[in-house]
Structure 1
Amino acid sequence: MVRLPLSPEEVERGQRLGALLRRARGDRSMLMTALEAGVSPETLRKIESGRVATPAFPTIAAIADVLGLSLDAVWSEINAAGGAAPARAGRYANERLAS
Structure 2
Amino acid sequence: MIFNLKGLKIGRVCTVLSKNIIDYILIKKNINIVIKRSYDVLYKKDSFFYKHTGYPGGIKKIKNSLYIKNKGMNNYIKKTLIGMLPKKKKYKNIVNNIIFE
Using the size of structure 1 for normalisation, the TM-score is 0.29
Structure with higher RCO (Cα < 8 A, 6+ apart)? 2
Work out which of the two has the higher radius of gyration on C-alpha atoms and give 1 or 2: 2
Q: Which has the higher helix share?
A: 1
Q: Which has the higher strand share?
A: 2
Using the size of structure 2 for normalisation, the TM-score is 0.28
